[in-house]
Structure 1
């Protein structure tokens, strides 16, 4: 399974979000690859789910075929875990 964290330029907040996603995946015992990227590259990235800001979610949701989940506080592991669990629940 592959998670992608997306921000406008793919270097700042997406890296923080990717680190939080990896911590949550490790905690939940998930075998996932986590990467971060910029908004433009996200449109053609092969993945299972995209995590991004609420501001970028609408644009991404319209242009990709995978779920796009919004995270407001990238360092809040409880919020990140909630979104990961929502993805896993919806995937079943």
Structure 2
């Protein structure tokens, strides 16, 4: 499974989210390829799952992408809860 973590600029916050997603996956005992990018690039990249802050991630929703919108991008508990149904 490929997970793409998305933020507005694809720099600091998406990198931190990527690390937290990897930690959440480890706590769930699951593995996945996790990378991060900016919103514009995410529109052209293929992934099984897109994760980002709720205020920006819905702009990727084209009816075919599986998207997780996070209320708090630093909350590993929320990540685990929202990731679980997809794993």
TM-score, normalising length from structure 1?
0.85
Runs of 4+ aligned structure 1 residues displaced above 2 Å come to none
- Equivalent pairs, count: 87
State the match for 1:70 in structure 2: 69
* Unpaired stretches in structure 2, ≥5 consecutive residues: none
Q: Is the contact made by 2:58 and 2:69 (CA closer than 8 Å) also made in structure 1?
A: no
Q: What is the Cα deviation at residue 31 of structure 1?
A: 2.1
| 1:84 match | 83
Per-residue CA deviations over 1:40-68 (Å, capped at 9, x if unaligned) read: 11011121100011111221112x73211
Instruction: Give the unaligned 5+ runs of structure 1.
Output: none
Any residues of structure 2 matched to 1:1-92 within 5 Å, and which?
Answer: 1-62=1-62, 65-88=64-87
Taking only aligned residues, the RMSD between alpha carbons, in angstroms, comes to 1.4
1:24 and 1:36 map into 2 onto residues whose CA distance is: 15
Distance 2:49 2:79 in 1: 13
